[in-house]
Structure 1
Amino acid sequence: MARDAGLQPQDQFVSVDGRKIVAPDDLSRALKDNKGKPVTVVVKRPSGEFTTTVTPNNDGVIGIGIGVNAERYYKEMSVGEAAAQSVTVTGRMLDMTVKGFGMMFGLVEKPANISDADMEVRGIVGIVQMGAGALGSGVFDFVWFLVVISINLAVMNILPIPMLDGGHIVFFLIEGITGKPVNAKTKALLSNLFFVLLIGLFALGLFNDMKHIVGGK
Structure 2
Amino acid sequence: MAVLQAIAVLAILILVHELGHFLAARGQGIHVNRFSIGFGPILWKYKGKETEYALRALPLGGFVGFPDDDPESSYPPNDPNLLSNRPVLDRAIVISAGVIANLIFAYFLLVVQLGLIGTPDFIAKPGVLVPQVVAEVNSVANQAGIQSGDLVLAVNGQKIDGSPQGIETLREFIQTHPQQEISLTIQRGESTSETKLTPTLNAEGKGQIGVQLSPNGEVVRRKIGNIFQVFSQAAEEFQKITILTVQGFGQLISNFQETANKVSGPVAIVAIGADIAKSDVTNLFQFAILISINLAVINILPLPALDGGQLAFLLIEGLRGKPLPTKIQDGVMQTGLMLLLGLGIFLILRDTANLLGIEKFFQ
Answer whether TM exceeds 0.5 for this pair.
Answer: yes
Structure 1 residues 1-217: aligned runs within 5 Å: 6-8=158-160, 11=161, 67=215, 69-107=217-255, 119-215=261-357
The Cα of 1:159 is off from its aligned counterpart by: 0.7
Q: 2 CA distance for matches of 1:181 and 1:120?
A: 37
Contact 1:121 1:204 in 2 (8 A): no
Q: 2 CA distance for matches of 1:128 and 1:4?
A: 39
Contact 2:305 2:334 in 1 (8 A): no
The Cα of 1:120 is off from its aligned counterpart by: 2.7
Q: Secondary structure at the match of 2:344?
A: helix
Q: Which has the higher contact order (CA 8 A, sep 6+)?
A: 2
The Cα of 1:77 is off from its aligned counterpart by: 4.2
Please identify the structure whose Cα radius of gyration is greater. Answer: 2
Output one character per residue of 1:150-176: Cα deviation in whole Å (capped at 9) or x when no partner: 111111110112332211221111111
Matched residue type, 2:325:
N
Q: Secondary structure at the match of 1:93?
A: helix
Q: Secondary structure at the match of 1:195?
A: helix
The Cα of 1:75 is off from its aligned counterpart by: 4.2
Residues 167/136 of structure 1: CA separation in 2 closer, same or farther (3 Å cut): same
Matched residue type, 1:143:
F
Q: Secondary structure at the match of 2:158?
A: coil
Residues 102/178 of structure 1: CA separation in 2 closer, same or farther (3 Å cut): same
Q: Secondary structure at the match of 1:191?
A: helix
The Cα of 1:140 is off from its aligned counterpart by: 2.0
Matched residue type, 1:158:
I
1:40 paired residue number: none
Q: 1 CA distance for matches of 2:257 and 2:264?
A: 20
Segments of structure 2 that go 5 or more residues without pairing to the other structure are: 1-153, 169-212
Q: Secondary structure at the match of 1:105?
A: helix
Q: Secondary structure at the match of 2:218?
A: coil
State, as a whole percentage, how many aligned pairs show the same letter.
32
Q: 2 CA distance for matches of 1:182 and 1:66?
A: 52
Q: 2 CA distance for matches of 1:216 and 1:72?
A: 37
Q: 2 CA distance for matches of 1:109 and 1:82?
A: 40
Contact 2:162 2:217 in 1 (8 A): yes
Q: Secondary structure at the match of 2:220?
A: coil
Q: 2 CA distance for matches of 1:200 and 1:93?
A: 29
The Cα of 1:216 is off from its aligned counterpart by: 7.3
C-alpha RMSD of the superposition: 3.1
Matched residue type, 2:304:
P
Contact 1:121 1:208 in 2 (8 A): no
Residues 109/96 of structure 1: CA separation in 2 closer, same or farther (3 Å cut): farther
Matched residue type, 1:183:
P
Q: Secondary structure at the match of 2:347?
A: helix
Q: 1 CA distance for matches of 2:221 and 2:293?
A: 24
Pairs aligned (count)? 161
What's the TM-score, normalizing by structure 1? 0.63
